[in-house]
A and B are shown apart, each in its own frame.
Chain A
Amino acid sequence: MIEINACGLSCPEPVVMLAKALKDKPEEAVICVDAPAACENCTRFATNAGYSVEKTTQDNKTVLTCRIKR
């Protein structure tokens, strides 16, 4: 499973990291973000690339679990 830590980074860096991770269409990728815009943008990118996105927020950090849609 691919795990990305994009905390402390501002847009578009988190979404660029996610884009690279999803390039070869892995089954699942997990990205941790702490900026609201990064959370929204990564959700949009993953959804648009054919992934379902599950969010869990703890403290100020959000973990987005992206799973490929069958």
Chain B
Amino acid sequence: MSDKTLTQLCQTAGCAAKIGPGVLAEVVKNLPRYENKNLLLGFDTSDDACVYDLGDGRYLIETIDFFPPMVDDPYVFGQIAAANALSDVYAMGGKPFLAMNLLCFPTCLELERVKAILQGGHDKAVEAKTVIAGGHTIDDFTPKYGLSVSGFAASDSLLTNAGAKEGDVLVLTKPLGTGILTTALKAEMLEDKDYQALIKSMTKLNNIDLSGIEVHACTDVTGFSLMGHGREMADGANVTIEIFAERVPQFDAALNFARMGMIPAGAYRNREFLKDKVVCDEMPLELTDVLFDPQTSGGLLIALPEKEAAKIDAPIIGQVLPRGQKSIHVRKTA
């Protein structure tokens, strides 16, 4: 049996393990496409899930998400992986109803820990009123877990990342910095209170009730960071997004750990990939680090009219402007 902790079995962690957007675009660009008129969203938009029109007023939403552990507690890891996978359905304005497990683990890992991963996933699915109906398991050196999730949205409640309108404000429902804090955790520098705040956020479902609220665009912030997913939102609506760095919620310890160089490689990849799309005003580097930090089970980024924003318990972090040269302009303050 392995005496290694879960994270010691991994090179990368959580959504920081995601392949960078530049590489991803390259590997999928020449794939053949089988067209289907009922497929409303697929490969061609950078959205969170694919959407299929069932023709009876309902849209079917399908998504899959899995990654290696970023915490050593297998039960907590299972919860995080499930919350993260379910999030894509919520980000499309849907409700999940059916899921399947995707699990990889080395046979040296004792079965109690494997069971705990699945227990965490199933408990989170129950909380989301979602049935896990089966799955597939592979023997692999690096543990990985996640779900494929199916959900429904009424055709008039579907949300995409492309509907932002000039004059909208942007709210963000979870603090940023999960990549930085999990890096500090791996370095054994994270204090317990910061660890507790981190796992509380990463295990939280994005099942925010948006009924009766006029929402124009929505996406969940994951591996491509707030800037990466914000960029997709800006380009999808041909607008420029302005972000106020000091208004962006982040974990208490994130700024200090950024100064100390506890920054995952994915954050540098995101910053490099977005260098022509995002412009930052003059400000200390560590203030912008969280903006490029890959998030695991991050919050929802929602574009909506200012009067509607008060109905959501989340801070306003920016606004939508007419299209300028860049996709995103980061200012220090509002």
Please report A residues at the B interface, Cβ cutoff 8 Å.
10-12, 15-16, 19, 35-37, 40-45, 48
Contact = CB atoms under 8 A, between A and B. Distances in A.
B12 A15 contact: no
Interface size class of B (residues with CB under 8 A): 10 to 19
A11 B183 contact: yes
Given A41-B262, A42-B261, A12 B268 contact: no
A40 B261 contact: yes
B264 interface: yes
A36 B262 contact: no
Nearest to B257: A12
Nearest to B258: A44
A42 to B, nearest CB: 6
A12 B183 contact: yes
B99 to A, nearest CB: 31
A33 B261 CA distance: 14
Nearest to A38: B265
A18 to B, nearest CB: 8
A15 B262 contact: yes
B12 A36 contact: no
B260 A11 contact: no
A11 B259 contact: no
Interface string B259-277: 1111111011000000000
Given A10-B11, A45-B260, A36 B183 contact: no
26 contacts: A10-B11, A10-B265, A11-B263, A12-B186, A12-B187, A12-B262, A15-B187, A15-B260, A15-B261, A16-B188, A19-B260, A36-B265, A37-B263, A37-B265, A37-B268, A40-B263, A40-B268, A42-B261, A43-B261, A44-B258, A44-B259, A44-B261, A44-B263, A45-B260, A48-B260, A48-B261
The 9 closest A-B pairs by CB, nearest first: A41-B261, A44-B261, A37-B265, A45-B261, A12-B187, A15-B261, A16-B187, A37-B268, A48-B259
B169 interface: no
A42 B187 CA distance: 13
Given A10-B265, A48-B260, 15 more contacts: A10-B12, A11-B183, A11-B263, A15-B261, A36-B265, A36-B268, A37-B265, A37-B268, A40-B261, A40-B263, A41-B262, A43-B261, A44-B258, A44-B259, A44-B261
Contact of B264 (A37, A44, A45): A37
Contact of B265 (A19, A35, A42, A43): A35
A43 B260 CA distance: 9
Interface string B206-233: 0000000000000000000000000000
Contacts of B264: 11, 37
B304 interface: no
A67 B286 CA distance: 22
B184 interface: yes
